[in-house]
Amino acid sequence: GAVVSQHPSRVICKSGTSVKIECRSLDFQATTMFWYRQFPKKSLMLMATSNEGSKATYEQGVEKDKFLINHASLTLSTLTVTSAHPEDSSFYICSAIKQSGPNEQFFGPGTRLTVL
């Protein structure tokens, strides 16, 4: 199998605080992980590409100091939303590509962030 988990599944925080979201590949090693953002009733927008042991590559318009990505191991990538504001409220989804085998993206179940 190829299972990707995210934690937490849902988080509510106060404006100005930071929130960390974890993305884990449970049964495979992932060379690359992706972070997406999905607004209500909208499509997925790629935020950044995360490679193990190196700096993430951010898409145009995504603030790297706002959305900190760390990919410290082949099974874990984290997204930290710093100094969160209500406009950061969204559904965040990660995906991972296996280190071996076809480069198919396997998606996590998503994290619903609500900033009050």
Partner 1 sequence: AQSVTQLGSHVSVSEGALVLLRCNYSSSVPPYLFWYVQYPNQGLQLLLKYTTGATLVKGINGFEAEFKKSETSFHLTKPSAHMSDAAEYFCAVSGGGGYNKLIFGAGTRLAVHP
Q: Which residues bind partner 1 (CB under 8 A)?
A: 4, 6, 32, 34, 41-46, 49, 91, 93, 95, 97, 102-105, 107-110, 112
Beta strand 111-115 pairing with 10-13: parallel
CB of 44 to partner 1, least distance (A): 5
Question: Which residues lie across from 4 on neighbouring strands?
Answer: 25
The residue (of 77 and 95) whose beta carbon lies closer to partner 1 is 95
The residue (of 18 and 104) whose beta carbon lies closer to partner 1 is 104
DSSP-derived secondary structure letter, 45: E
CA dist 64 and 55 (Å) reads: 10
CA dist 94 and 28 (Å) reads: 15
Cα radius of gyration (the chain):
13
* Amino acid making up residue 48: A
CB of 14 to partner 1, least distance (A): 22
CB of 9 to partner 1, least distance (A): 8
CB of 51 to partner 1, least distance (A): 11
The residue (of 13 and 44) whose beta carbon lies closer to partner 1 is 44
